[in-house]
Amino acid sequence: MKFYPVLLVTFLMVLMSHAFAAPVFHDTHGNTVQLSALKGKWVVVNYWASWCDVCLSETQELNQFYEHYRHKNIALYGVNSDHLPLPTLKQILYRMNLLIPDLVEDPGSAWGLDDVSVLPTTFIIGPEGTVLKKIEGPNTEKSLLDVLGALGYQS
């Protein structure tokens, strides 16, 4: 009988630790993305759709930005707004030659991102994990760098 309170407390601690665990996402490359691991990094999240011509036209710019800055304390992720099945999404990404990792799950609620009503929409999340900027419309490598610089990013 004396073990029941200890067992109950242990059970509650385990249950609560899972309830408050940091969100975990997956990208289309099969990698696990833990929000807690992104703490201290600048995070750029780009919402796009396969039917959006403007989204498709910014692909090369996003690829260049990703290639130049992925090792410089910046994480860039795409999020497909079509909510496509993973095999279909992978085929589209391959045809688009999109190099940036695309998140399978929408991180909007984890970061408190506003509703996306315009595509593309890009969110800049600061090193502390707070949303600093919402950009509606296409970006270039230069425009992203300009916004990040204005927000305090230094390479």
Predicted confidence (pLDDT) per residue in 66-123, tens digit: 999 999 999 999 999 998 999 999 999 999 999 999 999 999 999 999 889 999 999 9
pLDDT score at 1? 55
pLDDT tens string 25-71: 999 999 999 999 999 999 999 999 999 999 999 999 999 999 999 99
pTM across the whole model:
0.85
**Can you give the pLDDT at residue 136?**
97
Give the separation between CA 100 and CA 29, rounded to whole angstroms.
Answer: 9
Which structural domains are found in the chain, ordered by start?
Answer: 22-151 (3.40.30.10)
Q: What is the pLDDT of residues 115-153, one digit of tens each?
A: 899 999 999 999 999 999 999 999 999 999 999 999 999
Of 97, 84, 151, nearest in space to 124 by CA: 151
C-alpha to C-alpha distance for 82 and 13, rounded to whole angstroms: 38
Residue 142 neighbours by CB distance under 10 Å: 11
**Residue 15: band (very low, low, confident or very high) from pLDDT cuts 50, 70, 90:** very low
How is residue 27 annotated by DSSP?
B
Count the residues in the chain.
Answer: 155
**pLDDT confidence of residue 97:** 92
The number of beta carbons lying within 10 Å of the beta carbon of residue 55 is 22
